[in-house]
Amino acid sequence: MLLANLAMEATGPVCFRNQPVPQELVLELLNHAVWAPNDGLREPWRFIFVDHRNADRMVGLQEPAPAYLIVVMKEEADRYKREEDFAAVSCLMQNLELLAPEKGLGIRRTLNEWRYDRQRAGTFGVLGNEWIAGVLELGYAEQVPGRPAADSRPELRFELL
């Protein structure tokens, strides 16, 4: 399918079925997603998978979900590299979101306040020289009534130099 056509498909809010997400599926999708552009081929990402057995550890931090993928990036000292790395990891997460629906998987990408809580992040294995770039709430998607396909023009501020 053309990616351009995917944009026309109605999507509603993602609701999850109460069913575990196998790590093999997430890895399969990730191995496509890692083809994201990334400056200097630094591949600045790392993944921490929290499956259904430990999903309750996210209570109070995240919305309930069958599984979570914590996507972390290494913190570069150089300001430019830091921004480029966050950009690259964002591209990777976007790839994953584009691929997920084909497998019936729903993804809610979040970035919450607790990324700044070093101790909290540490309990999940995020290292001192790493930052959470996003926490993906994962689950098989419940059929949800879609919103009417793009009723309003998306916002785009496009100016000529």
Partner 1 sequence: MSLAELIRERRSIRKFNSTPVAEELVVELLQTAVQLLPSSAGVPWRCVYAGTPESRKRLADYMLQTVSHSRLGKLIPDKMLEVFKKRFMDIPAHVVVLAGTGPDPLASERNYAAVCSILQNFQLLGWERGLGMLWDTEAMIQNEGLFQGIGMRADERFVGILHVGYYNKAPRGRKRTPAEKKWTVFQG
Ligand X SMILES: Cc1cc2nc3c(=O)[nH]c(=O)nc-3n(C[C@H](O)[C@H](O)[C@H](O)COP(=O)(O)O)c2cc1C
Instruction: Please enumerate, as own/partner, the contacts of 93-100 that have beta carbons within 8 Å and a separation of 24 or more.
Output: 93/33, 93/133, 93/134, 93/136, 94/36, 95/32, 95/33, 95/35, 95/36, 96/29, 96/30, 96/33, 96/136, 98/3, 98/6, 99/29, 99/32, 99/33, 100/29
Residue 33 interacting with ligand X (CB under 6 A) = no
Q: Looking at 88, 121, 126, 141, which residue binds ligand X (CB under 6 A)?
A: 88
φ/ψ (deg, to 5) at 45: -105, 160
Q: Looking at 17, 18, 39, 64, which residue binds partner 1 (CB under 8 A)?
A: 39
Residue 153 interacting with partner 1 (CB under 8 A) = yes
Residue 98 interacting with ligand X (CB under 6 A) = no
Q: How many residues does the chain have?
A: 161
Residue 95 interacting with partner 1 (CB under 8 A) = yes
List residues near partner 1 by CB under 8 A. Answer: 1-4, 6-7, 11, 14, 23, 27, 30-37, 39, 41, 43, 45-51, 53-54, 57, 70, 80, 83-84, 86-87, 90-91, 93-95, 97-99, 102, 108-109, 111-113, 115-116, 124-125, 133-134, 150, 153-161
